[in-house]
Amino acid sequence: MRTVELFAGGGGLAIGLKQAGFKPKAIIEFNRHACQTLRKNHLTDSEHFLYEGDVRLFNYDQIARTENECIQLVSGGPPCQPFSLGGNHKAFNDDRDMFPEAVRAIRELKPQAFIFENVKGLLRKSFSAYFEYILLQLQFPDKNKYPDETWETHYERLKKTVMPAMTMH
């Protein structure tokens, strides 16, 4: 099964997935030192693409895919600093909030599954609406945010999408 790893760091999650039989099709990491570690951990070779750069600039079309070679899993650990108990607690106002990029990967790659890990601080009450917004985007990736739309307005629109589905059960 083929994976794309975002925000790979030194590759802990990628190593575990590789040991479980997954094959990383692409690994995306911004930090050059982490990329050196990824190379030393033998997570990259001629078949697997390491993108050393800003995920916001990554074009998923550059991952050669055919019908028989779709991406089954997107995984990664979006930076935790915006949500960490020890940080500035800026969440969606922090330039390091990469959850929009995690959602973009799901939207564009359409994997069968995804795994994202983050810090406990993301579950704080002050971030509860934003956390629910992230979950709704992952649940309804085809409901794009409009270019001039705030995350709050998009969140309200997504909640309206869920309401009819909830009342049908």
Provide CB contacts within 8 A for 9, sequence distance 6+: 29, 31, 34, 37, 77
Q: What's this model's pTM, rounded to 2 decimal places?
A: 0.88
Give the residue with greater pLDDT, 138 vs 46. 138
The catalytically annotated residue of 55, 71, 80, 103 is 80
Helices 128-139, 99-109: axis angle to 10 degrees equals: 10
What share of the chain has pLDDT > 70, as a percent?
A: 91
Told to judge if 80 belongs to the known catalytic residues of this protein, a careful annotator would answer: yes
Which amino acid, 71?
I
pLDDT, tens digit (0-9, with 9 covering 90-100), for 70-97: 899 999 999 999 999 887 788 899 999 9
pLDDT at residue number 161: 86
